Amino acid sequence: MSLRLVFMGTPDFAVPTLAALKEAGHEIAAVYTRAPKRAGRGMAETRTPVHTAADLFGLPVLTPATLKGEEAAETFAAHRADAAIVVAYGLLLPRAVLEAPRYGCFNLHASLLPRWRGAAPINRAVMAGDSETGVAVMKMEEGLDTGPVALVEKTAIGSNETAGELHDRLSRLGGPLIVKALRALEADELAFTPQPEDGVVYAAKLTNAETRVDWSRDAASLHNHIRGLSPFPGAWAEADFGKGPERLKLLRCEHAEGEGTPGTFLDDEGRIACGSGALRLINVQRAGKGPMTFTDFARGVKIGKGMRLS
């Protein structure tokens, strides 16, 4: 058996779930995603990853600016969907949309709800130093990630794992979990558990202000901060490497021995003092350049003991 679905998603994270639904034989009546943006030197129109995947699958795509209003609700209801699957879509679903599918709307969320409800659950889990996270299938309500949870797939977070690496792993877990949930839904065996009131934590959207590294913090929290922002938007610090102040993104680091004035290099191999303890830079990125090892970066600049990143 198969269900008639509407899929709603936007970034790379959502693509494996769309592919899994297609492979499982479900009928996808429509794909909703964010509208194309113009970017680059020629201001070329860039479609979302989900839009690109839907085109490859030959699926109809809709890119409304909003789902509010009678016309949007009528268009959505006309799909006559059994269910809607929502993965990092980026638009709020009003009540009329939530209630249109026969079984409702289901969200794949990248956290162990109720911890890390909201916009940036993967980054926040790593930045907080969590040892475990996962993906959850939730029936959607009007509240922000407040609905009852049906299925959860847990996974450990590696001690040196970046948000980007965790993102890719979780995206691969999502598709099979959604397919499993829909199989149970068809069999009338999908049970939901309300989220507990205790343990609610919100994953606020990342801001530019928090990407600059504060070297007065201890090494453990800075290690989590840097890997939690890697590769995007990227934690950064600034120094003069010979041509005036230059911003340097810090993409990967590891714990190191040493103490000193926070932000100063302890050697020419990337070891930097923190408020307590030290870190060694592994991968960095200069403005306008691609990611590189610190070793390669140091070949082109003069790094000396006592040089300061701020």
The CA distance from 204 to 207, in Å, is 9
Cα 115 to chain centroid distance, Å, stands at: 15
Burial of 7 (0-12, 13-18, 19+ CB in 10 A): buried
Domain boundaries, given as residue ranges, for the chain: 4-202, 208-299
**DSSP labels for 135-148?**
EEEEE--SSTT-SP
Output the pTM of the full model.
0.94
**H-type alpha helices, 99-157:** 121-127
How many Cβ atoms sit within 10 Å of the Cβ of residue 144?
A: 11
The CA distance from 176 to 190, in Å, is 15
Q: Exposure string (b/e) for 193-205, b if CB count within 10 Å is 16 or more?
A: eebeeeeebbbee
The CA distance from 133 to 233, in Å, is 21
Angle between helices 49-57 and 15-23 (to 10 degrees): 20
pLDDT of residue 42: 67
CATH number of the domain at 208-299, please? 3.10.25.10
pLDDT of residue 221: 98
Structure tokens at 203: 């994953």
The CA distance from 235 to 233, in Å, is 7
Angle between helices 163-186 and 15-23 (to 10 degrees): 30
Q: What is the number of residues in the chain? A: 310
pLDDT of residue 303: 83
Find all residues with CB under 8 Å of 258, minimum gap 6, and list them: 266, 271, 273, 277, 278
pLDDT in tens, 190-211: 999 999 999 999 999 999 999 9
Pairing of strands 37-39, 44-46: antiparallel
Instruction: Enter the DSSP assignment of 35.
Output: P
Judge whether 263 and 250 are in contact, CB under 8 Å: no
- Which residue type, as a one-letter code, is found at position 111? S
* Residue that is written with structure tokens 């009928």 in the block: 27
CATH 3.30.565.10 fits 4-202, yes or no: no
Phi, psi values for residue 115, rounded to 5°: -75, 130
pLDDT of residue 262: 98
Judge whether 264 and 273 are in contact, CB under 8 Å: yes
Burial of 244 (0-12, 13-18, 19+ CB in 10 A): exposed
Phi, psi values for residue 152, rounded to 5°: -140, 140
pLDDT of residue 301: 87
Provide block-wise average pLDDT over 10 residues at a time, the chain (310 residues): 95 98 98 87 85 98 96 98 97 96 98 97 98 98 96 98 98 97 97 96 96 98 98 95 89 97 95 98 95 93 86
